[in-house]
Amino acid sequence: MAPWRLPLLAMALLWGCLLPSSSSSPSTVAPPQGLQITDPGLLGSLDVEWKPPPHAQTFQECTVKYKLEYHSAGDRDWKVIFTRKLKLRVGFDLSRTAEVRLQTLLKGRCTDDVEVQSDWIYATFQIPPQGKLESEVQNFKCIYHDWEYLKCTWQPGLLTPRGVHYGLYYWYEGLEQAAQCAQYIQEHGLNLGCVLHNLSQAEYRDLRICVNGSAAATQLRPLYSTLRLHNLAQPSAPEQLQLSVSAAQELTQPLLTLSLSLSPLSTALFVSTQTETAVTISRANQSHISCVRVRGRTNIFCADQGFWSEWTQDCFSVPRKEDKQLFILIPVILSLSISLIIFMLIGQCKKRSPAGKPLHTSVGF
């Protein structure tokens, strides 16, 4: 070998030692182990836990994470969580099968900063079916009245035996265990509704509900529901409604306003505003307005949906421009009429007295 080639060979060997070895980078990673789902009795909040993949401790220069996807059977989309934990509590509809899938994610210097994904592992959970579907309560609905109390109502199922007893149970994050309704709504001795108070801690969280029934020698299908209170809120009817007409002949309605019904005899014009508590109606519309009513609903920035409040009870009449002109003309016409009558009476008196002769009064001595 020529002597001048020795330095080049040494440099090449040194460069090869500095480069990371591709053979040392793992191209695959094992999935987690022991995936299981357990029910802690929280009406649909299930615990999902697993163990790390084999030899996870050898990846000292990489981060091991997990990708969990879950849904209730029949849902089109999967909810996704990325975590380093080995246990999570997630919500499902217990009337359907809970399905989860999990994989390992490995990334760092040991993988040349390329994310390596394992195969998926799967697990399911389902409570044993109880009772026939037709025995489940019907027409279950709830309204969160004025953000103060929740009122839920239902009707008996199609296959409901006599002597049935219904109970409502609820849970949200912050409660140690599921609680039972303390204020039922009864009809003919049958629980057909429930009122729940002090739910401020459950706002903007999942509130899990179960309505179960029991009867002698008969199993009934329980109903499970997950509520979001802010989407069920119904405010009370607006108060302190005031109306005024500006100098520009525009109608201003201050204070609580989210939806206005401006009604003449048989038609209605609706005006909506999102965040204001006042609205101005243009002069062009005033001739068509004979009544103003107001109702409210939770702002779209606070809830995806909700219920409209009742309309304001009183119908506030709006004076029209023609009415104002008429109110001004009536006193003027009355004044002119009275003046004309007075002049006519004076004229009649002059006609009855002799022309050119003053009236004398005789005095006796």
What average pLDDT does the segment 130-141 reach?
A: 94
Structural domain spans, the chain: 33-125, 133-234, 236-242+256-337
H/E stretch holding 272 reads strand 269-272
Q: What is the pLDDT of residues 234-293, one digit of tens each?
A: 887 776 666 666 555 554 544 333 444 444 434 444 555 555 566 666 655 555 555 677
Q: Which DSSP letter does residue 148 get?
A: T
Please state, in angstroms and as integers, the Cα–Cα distance from residue 350 to each residue in 240, 357, 361, 362, following that order.
61, 11, 17, 21
Share of the chain above pLDDT 90, in %: 48
Find tokens 């519309």 and name the residue: 285
What's the rounded Cα separation, in Å, for the pair 138 and 150? Answer: 18
State CA 322 to chain mean position distance. Answer: 44
Q: What is the pLDDT of residues 294-334, one digit of tens each?
A: 777 776 667 676 777 767 766 655 555 555 555 566 676 77
Q: Where are the beta strands (DSSP E) in 84-137?
A: 87-91, 98-108, 116-117, 121-125
Q: What is the pLDDT of residues 39-84, one digit of tens each?
A: 999 999 999 999 999 988 888 889 999 999 999 999 999 999 999 9
Q: Which residues contact 167 (CB under 8 A, 6 or more apart)?
A: 180, 181, 191, 211, 212, 213, 214
- 33-125 CATH, one of 3.90.1180.10, 3.40.50.1820, 3.90.800.10, 2.60.40.10: 2.60.40.10
The yes/no answer on whether domain 133-234 falls in CATH 1.10.230.10 is no
